[in-house]
Amino acid sequence: MITIEQAARLRKAGVLWAPAAGDRFVVPDREMDDDVFVVSDMTVEVHDYQGSKVIGFNGTTEWALDSIEQREVIWLPREEQLRALLGDHFQSLESVPGGYRVNLTDSIHPSEDAEQAYAQAVIHLLGA
């Protein structure tokens, strides 16, 4: 999984998120940075409310968070989502000593974690 910092860099670089079932996210700056949530039709749903996306928490009686605006959370994209963002620029993912390497048509992005390597490649591609 990519780090919260890397996910924040992706958002700052312009990566847009259309929340869907199975997507992971965190709620930063509310003493929940270590809690990873998953969008699910059963517990965490996305609703359109007055022109913005709101993430609703169903059945969460143990803490006082019924919903939160999408702009207040940080999406943690999965490997296949990051690869899709690379589009035709993606050439390959290789296992190398010490981790992985994402090869784009014009650059190489190594990391200890495959998702981190993909995230670095997306940030490079967006020129951030």
Residue spans of the domains in the chain: they are 4-126
The answer to whether the CB of 86 falls within 8 A of the CB of 35 is: no
Write down the mean pLDDT value for the chain.
88
**Tens digit of each residue's pLDDT (9 = 90 or more) over 15-73:** 999 988 899 999 998 887 788 988 876 666 777 877 888 877 766 544 555 677 889 99
Distance (Å, whole) CA 89 – CA 78: 18
- Check residue 59 and give its pLDDT: 60
Q: Looking at residues 106-121, what average pLDDT do you find? A: 97
Model's pTM, two decimal places?
Answer: 0.80
- Check residue 61 and give its pLDDT: 47
